[in-house]
Amino acid sequence: MLQKENRLAKVRDFNLLFEYGRWVSTDGFTLKFLELGKNKKYFPPKEDPEKFAKQLRVAFTVGVKISKSAVKRNRLKRQAREVVRLLIKEEKLNIGNYLLFVAKAGTIGLEYEEIERQVLLLLKNANCLL
């Protein structure tokens, strides 16, 4: 489980991500990411700009169209979340990013190693790895 300070949860943050973020894609996942330090015009006025620019927040989604079974969707989210949690723990991810991982059809039933490979490839393409 990701630590609370690393979870993308506020509606405001999702709105920022969808309005200003960019997409990167692989076979199994799509990543919407926003580099916070690039543009300060979308910083919330009540937040400390230095502290806001040094956040790392992550979210994962697996739609019902991917699988009707909540058990399968949750398993995929747990496995992808664990890959990112380990990267954060090892300090291999750049701070100052909002990340949203969206699973595509065909990712249900993948082995952990394949999920890890695809998540790392996405992060590399988005320049989020150190």
Q: Show the 3-state SS of 35-50.
A: EHHHCHHHCCCCCCHH
In total, how many domains does the chain have? 1
Domain annotation covers residue 119? yes
Cα–Cα distance, 80 to 69 (Å, whole number):
17
| Burial degree of 100 (CB within 10 A; 0-12, 13-18, 19+) | buried
Compute and round to an integer the Cα radius of gyration of the chain: 15
Domain annotation covers residue 12? yes
Identify the CATH number of the domain in which residue 84 sits.
3.30.230.10
Q: What is the mean pLDDT of each run of 10 residues along the chain (130 residues)?
A: 91 91 93 86 78 90 94 95 95 92 92 95 92
Q: Please state the pTM of the whole predicted model.
A: 0.92
Domain annotation covers residue 80? yes
Q: What's residue 90's pLDDT?
A: 94
The single-letter DSSP state of residue 28 is S
Domain annotation covers residue 118? yes
Q: Is 32 in contact with 23 (CB distance < 8 Å)?
A: yes
Domain annotation covers residue 130? no
Q: What region, left, alpha or beta, does residue 125 occupy, with left being phi > 0 and alpha being psi -120 to 50 degrees? A: alpha
Between the alpha carbon of residue 11 and those of residues 1, 35, 90, the distances in Å are 20, 17, 28
Q: What's residue 51's pLDDT?
A: 82
Q: Is 19 in contact with 5 (CB distance < 8 Å)?
A: no
Between the alpha carbon of residue 43 and those of residues 27, 60, 93, 125, the distances in Å are 33, 23, 21, 25
